[in-house]
Structure 1
Amino acid sequence: MSASIKQIEYFLPDKVLSNEDLQQEFPDRDVAKMAKKIGVFSRHIVHETQTALDLGEAACKKLFETYDKNKIDFIVLCTQSPDYHLPTSACLLQNRLGLSEKVGAFDINQGCSGFVYSLTIAKGFISAGIANNVLLVMAETYSKHLNPKDLGNRMIFGDGASAIVVEKSESQMIGDFVLGTNGDGYENLIVPNGGMKCRYDHNAEVIIGNRNDERTANDLYMNGSEIFYFVSKQIPGVVDQTLIKNKLGQSDIDFFIFHQANEYMISFLTKKLKISKDKYYNNIDDLGNTVSSTIPIALKRCMVKGLVKKGDKIMLCGFGVGYSWASVIIEL
């Protein structure tokens, strides 16, 4: 059996945090200068009581306005900010959406490469005859991981969710994947406390970063220079491997959509790979880095804008926390 992406929708919380808002909070920092490099000028942020599951539910309900929810027979929900350690958010989502009890459901914790990893699961389940219509939900509220006094990360990350249906199809519209892992870099993008190894510490010591950003071990830590080094070293080769595995050349690809990490990183990759500006998309300016949702949101926006069309070959490439990476070529 073959698989294809049938439909995509996304949902963003209504609260918007602008760079002007951040400048008021941090009057001694040059927010405009920082924004020029990372390319983020506003981002959507959840309200205090709003969760990743709420965002995922809203994205699914938007999708079900034009798609029959009764066709869904499996849910894969990707998040690194779940409502609970247990139970899995996917089980709660099945109940909230009123889906059949015959629907299988589980979460994956994969971050920035999570959408492409989720596609591997959907394609695999369809190919194996386990499911026919898989609902993929990417839902993230990284803002809840951030220290209020950590300007650097607050500028980069935004919250959001996306819902994607992968269906059984007559022709193979999702190509061969290239996946990879290097857990040696796990400490460079991490929330140290909160799991079973190191529980949440209400008296955690305040840590002052290089640019006077503050955090504790309860908050997200990102070593930006090490993450950039990993991406610059690893991802150009991943793109080449994906082309080879799918027996295609770079000229055969109509469009490239990379994980929307930040403007500087996307610019570096596209220049390194000699990808022309009319063949890739950057939508980080009003969203920030929405982690696993960056690729599906970008793909949906490209479809709406007419930048990609039916029959186009599109490379999707996610990378980040873990370290992990995942790449595939799809056809619309």
Structure 2
Amino acid sequence: MTQIRTKIKGLGFFVPKNIVTNDDLSKVMDTNDEWIRARTGIEERRYITRFEDTPATMGAEAARIAMDRAGVKPEDIDFVVFATLSPDYYFPGGGVLVQRELGLGHCGCLDVRNQCSGFLYGLSVADQYIRTGTYKNILLIGSEVHSAGIDFSTRGRDVTVIFGDGAGAAILQPTTEEGKGVLTTHLHADGRYAEKLAFKNPGSHSGVFTGDKEVFPTVEESPYASLMITPKMVEEGDHYPNMDGQFVFKHAVRRFPEVIGEALEATGLAVSDIDLLVPHQANLRIAQFVQKTLQLPDEKVYNNIQKYGNTTAASIPIALCEAWEKGLVKDGDLICLAAFGSGFTWASALIRW
């Protein structure tokens, strides 16, 4: 029986036109270019044009490029998987907004909320649909707008300097070509550390997990007051993302090699078989640590965080697409994708191009 696998037929990415350098950020917070580069490797990032760009519109722009390269029309798309942590609306999800932007008819749309691992979780889900014959043209998107919801003050600099905006997209199709396509995907999570990297408010947790119930009104004060967002949260800056950077780093540099090794073991391959590793662009220091652990040469690891910052769910498709455009992804190459992020979640995929 012929085995069906998933191939990436087309790639595209879109980043906003606004380049924000480290020096630009030093004008609004106590930081500098040397401090940011030393800790993250980031030199600049892209921010949206406000009132024009959104996660859905950027995702649609990336999708148009991927669709054109794949030679598919809007009516050919039969499913959409949209990964983001920064949706246009709390609900509905961004998938239906992209569907509307692109005129995709009534195809199904699925939103994935797995932050930095979102694109790989989406790839794994889409891979199952392709392998089972359920769908034949899946549009997979990772798109993020961070600049609209981060703290541009010294208080928030540890988080703010890291993130950028952008979107990447892939068209996934079935292939029966021997040994080609997505060979394996691996997904993991550890919810014990959910609050170590989180955007907690607005939310519906009312302090149950965080222990900070003092920022919420008591039932006696107002039995029906909003618990999603309160004046005290805004006053204390508790409505911005928070991160325990050192804690995240320690877990990331362990989980990346583990999940890459798991994928290699599942396919009977070795690190030396990898032609290109495209890691989630979390922090250049993390990527360099993983590269050293795996003993991969520079030409086998692709990083572009220096230009775009951390675009969470969009970082892998942006980097993969850019690498492909540069001719670094060739027919027959073994491509390894890996991610770690909020949740904690982590994932890997091996693709024979």
Cα pair 1:201 1:218 within 8 Å, conserved: no
Map of 1:203 onto structure 2: 232
- Once the 2 structures are TM-superposed, how far is the Cα of residue 54 of structure 1 from its aligned partner? 1.7
- Alpha-carbon distance between aligned partners in 2 of 1:274 and 1:205, rounded to the nearest angstrom: 46
- Alpha-carbon distance between aligned partners in 2 of 1:24 and 1:147, rounded to the nearest angstrom: 14
Q: TM-score, normalised by structure 1?
A: 0.93
- Alpha-carbon distance between aligned partners in 2 of 1:29 and 1:4, rounded to the nearest angstrom: 43
- Alpha-carbon distance between aligned partners in 2 of 1:48 and 1:303, rounded to the nearest angstrom: 30
Deviation digits for residues 211-230 of structure 1 (CA, Å, limit 9, x no counterpart): xxxxx221000111010111
- Once the 2 structures are TM-superposed, how far is the Cα of residue 60 of structure 1 from its aligned partner? 1.8
User: Tell me, what secondary structure is at the counterpart of 1:298?
Assistant: helix
Q: Residues 114 and 301 of structure 1: is their aligned pair in 2 closer, same or farther, counting only changes over 3 Å?
A: same
- Once the 2 structures are TM-superposed, how far is the Cα of residue 302 of structure 1 from its aligned partner? 1.2
Which residue of 14, 37, 58 maps to 2:61? 58
Which residue of 292, 298, 317 maps to 2:338? 317
Report the residue type matching 1:158 in the other structure: G
User: Tell me, what secondary structure is at the counterpart of 1:163?
Assistant: strand
Map of 1:8 onto structure 2: 11
Residue correspondence of structure 1 range 1-332 to structure 2 within 5 A: 1-26=4-29, 28-49=30-51, 50-66=53-69, 67-69=71-73, 70-101=75-106, 103-149=107-153, 150-171=156-177, 172-198=180-206, 199-204=228-233, 216-332=237-353
Report the residue type matching 1:157 in the other structure: F
- Alpha-carbon distance between aligned partners in 2 of 1:153 and 1:9, rounded to the nearest angstrom: 27
Q: TM-score, normalised by structure 2?
A: 0.87
Identity of aligned residues (%): 33
- Alpha-carbon distance between aligned partners in 1 of 2:322 and 2:56, rounded to the nearest angstrom: 22
User: Tell me, what secondary structure is at the counterpart of 2:42?
Assistant: coil
User: Tell me, what secondary structure is at the counterpart of 1:180?
Assistant: strand
Report the residue type matching 2:82 in the other structure: L
- Once the 2 structures are TM-superposed, how far is the Cα of residue 233 of structure 1 from its aligned partner? 2.5
> Is there any run of 5+ residues in structure 2 with no aligned partner, and where?
207-227
Report the residue type matching 1:100 in the other structure: G
- Once the 2 structures are TM-superposed, how far is the Cα of residue 89 of structure 1 from its aligned partner? 1.6
Greater displacement, 119-128 / 193-202: 193-202
Cα pair 2:10 2:67 within 8 Å, conserved: no
- Once the 2 structures are TM-superposed, how far is the Cα of residue 130 of structure 1 from its aligned partner? 1.2
Deviation digits for residues 14-68 of structure 1 (CA, Å, limit 9, x no counterpart): 1221112112223x43332321331111100113323211211221223344432
Deviation digits for residues 55-98 of structure 1 (CA, Å, limit 9, x no counterpart): 11221223344432222110000111111122222112212211
Cα pair 1:270 1:276 within 8 Å, conserved: yes
- Alpha-carbon distance between aligned partners in 1 of 2:255 and 2:64, rounded to the nearest angstrom: 37
Map of 1:213 onto structure 2: none
- Alpha-carbon distance between aligned partners in 1 of 2:240 and 2:34, rounded to the nearest angstrom: 25
Cα pair 1:145 1:191 within 8 Å, conserved: no
Question: What is the count of residue pairs matched by the alignment?
Answer: 322
User: Tell me, what secondary structure is at the counterpart of 1:156?
Assistant: coil
Cα pair 1:252 1:313 within 8 Å, conserved: yes
- Once the 2 structures are TM-superposed, how far is the Cα of residue 162 of structure 1 from its aligned partner? 1.0
Report the residue type matching 2:8 in the other structure: I
- Once the 2 structures are TM-superposed, how far is the Cα of residue 205 of structure 1 from its aligned partner? 5.8
- Once the 2 structures are TM-superposed, how far is the Cα of residue 206 of structure 1 from its aligned partner? 5.2
User: Tell me, what secondary structure is at the counterpart of 1:307?
Assistant: coil
- Alpha-carbon distance between aligned partners in 2 of 1:60 and 1:90, rounded to the nearest angstrom: 12
Is the radius of gyration larger for structure 1 or structure 2? 2
Cα pair 2:138 2:172 within 8 Å, conserved: yes
